[in-house]
């Protein structure tokens, strides 16, 4: 009889412990969609696992299924702390917020409680001189699609210096993102935004041959297209920093002369065109000027000039036929002179 009683008692205890009533938590407003407990796992390492420990009620209300059982550390979060706080028979630490892997009564400064009952310490950014007026962070939203929204994320420190409120927070973005460096040919502007460098223009050049466009400034439409018409016979290079402008196939004397010495120009240095590139000077025996489009070319023979000079001085006798030949063949003038 005693033996049977002992067995019955053991079975009863087993059944009682196995099928003990759960200790439900209090309702917490953790549902993010109003149809289930999505959102109740926020802050846990195992978000979905923590979420599965809640049961949905209505609206955005859910409750924790059983505060009397041990909660795996990867699933513990602020909503579990809040749901089990003050519940009888709960073995979850009786605290309202989640910080440092456990439930706490209040957040340790500078941490503050988020809407998910999690103690959170913002990662304040470095001070940057983005204030345009020195009395707030106006200017710190430059370049953003939502300028005022971006500006509101900054806090003024002093003068033009502002700090970003929280570098850990998710920032709404468009198609752009942060980059370690700008992708060439883009360069950062004063607002730290990668953009195409501003056009580099130089002095005007008188290369237009028709006074209506830049015909005459290049041998083909591609080169002529590098220029913008100004007025009269004046044109200018649209952008000396463009790789199209500095392309060897597009170089000529007008391009060289226009872009020479301009800061930011990618065109080779030199105000004249020699061979296949810009040059600071022409090779010996070659000259250049606007009349030959700033292209280094061999100079004309001086023989004809010498002959004419001597004729004027009465040093030679020469007939009209020979004069015409001298005019047409200056380079051979010396062999047509006779005494």
Shared domain check, 76 and 40 = yes
User: Of 120, 140, 159, which marks where a domain is finished?
Assistant: 120
Same domain, 186 and 265: no
Residue position matching structure tokens 């073995």: 91
Same structural domain, 19 and 114: yes
Q: What is the pLDDT of residues 150-203, one digit of tens each?
A: 999 999 999 999 999 888 878 877 557 888 988 877 888 888 988 877 788 877
Assess if residue 31 is contained within a domain: yes
Domain boundary among 120, 149, 165: 120
Residue 292 lies in a domain: yes
Same domain for 190 and 168: yes
Give the per-residue pLDDT at 19: 53
Q: Select from 258, 280, 284 the least CA-distant residue to 201.
A: 258
- Mean pLDDT, consecutive 10-residue stretches, the chain (339 aa), reads 44 48 95 96 96 97 96 96 95 93 92 92 92 92 90 93 89 76 83 84 88 94 94 94 92 95 91 95 93 87 44 47 44 35
Q: Which domain holds residue 325?
A: 303-336
Whether 42 maps to a domain, the answer reads yes
Positive or negative, the Cα torsion across 13, 15, 17, 21? negative
Residue 28, beta-bridge partner list: 62
Same domain, 67 and 112: yes
Overall pTM surpassing 0.95 (yes/no): no
Distance, in Å, from the CA atom of 252 to the CA atom of 275, rounded to the nearest integer, reads 10
3-state secondary structure 193-255: CEECCCCCCCCCECCCCCCCCCCCCCCCHHHHCCEEEEECCEEEECCCCCHHHHCHHHCCHHH
User: Residue 174's pLDDT is what?
Assistant: 57
3-state secondary structure of 258: helix
Question: Is residue 206 in a domain?
Answer: no
Q: Are residues 228 and 281 in the same domain?
A: yes
DSSP 278: E
169 falls within a domain: yes
């Amino acid at each position: 009889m005693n033996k049977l009683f002992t067995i019955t008692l053991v079975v009863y205890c087993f059944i009682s412990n196995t099928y003990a009533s759960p200790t439900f938590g209090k309702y917490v407003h953790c549902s993010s969609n109003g149809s289930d407990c999505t959102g109740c796992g926020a802050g846990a390492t195992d978000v979905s696992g923590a979420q599965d420990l809640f049961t949905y009620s209505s609206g955005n209300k859910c409750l924790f299924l059983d505060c009397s059982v041990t909660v795996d550390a990867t699933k513990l979060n602020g909503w579990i702390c809040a749901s089990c706080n003050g519940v009888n028979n709960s073995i979850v630490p009786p605290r309202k917020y989640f910080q440092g892997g456990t439930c706490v009564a209040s957040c340790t400064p500078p941490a503050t409680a988020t809407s998910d009952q999690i103690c959170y310490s913002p990662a304040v950014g470095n001070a940057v001189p983005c204030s345009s007026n020195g009395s707030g962070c106006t200017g710190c939203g430059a370049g953003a699609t939502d300028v005022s929204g971006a500006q509101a994320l900054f806090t003024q420190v002093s003068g033009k210096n502002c700090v970003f409120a929280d570098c850990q927070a998710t920032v709404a973005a468009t198609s752009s993102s942060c980059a370690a460096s700008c992708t060439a040919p883009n360069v950062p502007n004063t607002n730290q935004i990668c953009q195409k460098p501003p056009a580099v223009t130089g002095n005007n050049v008188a290369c237009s041959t028709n006074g209506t466009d830049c015909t005459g400034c290049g041998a083909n439409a591609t080169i002529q297209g590098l220029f913008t018409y100004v007025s009269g016979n004046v044109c200018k290079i649209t952008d000396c920093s463009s790789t199209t402008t500095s392309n060897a196939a597009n170089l000529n004397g007008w391009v060289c002369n226009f872009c020479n010495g301009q800061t930011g120009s990618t065109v080779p240095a030199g105000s004249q065109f020699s061979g296949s590139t810009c040059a600071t000077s022409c090779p010996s025996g070659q000259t250049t000027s606007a009349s030959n489009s700033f292209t280094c070319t061999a100079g004309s023979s001086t023989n004809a000039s010498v002959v004419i000079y001597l004729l004027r001085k009465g040093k030679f006798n020469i007939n009209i036929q020979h004069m015409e030949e001298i005019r047409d063949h200056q380079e051979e003038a010396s062999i047509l002179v006779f005494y």
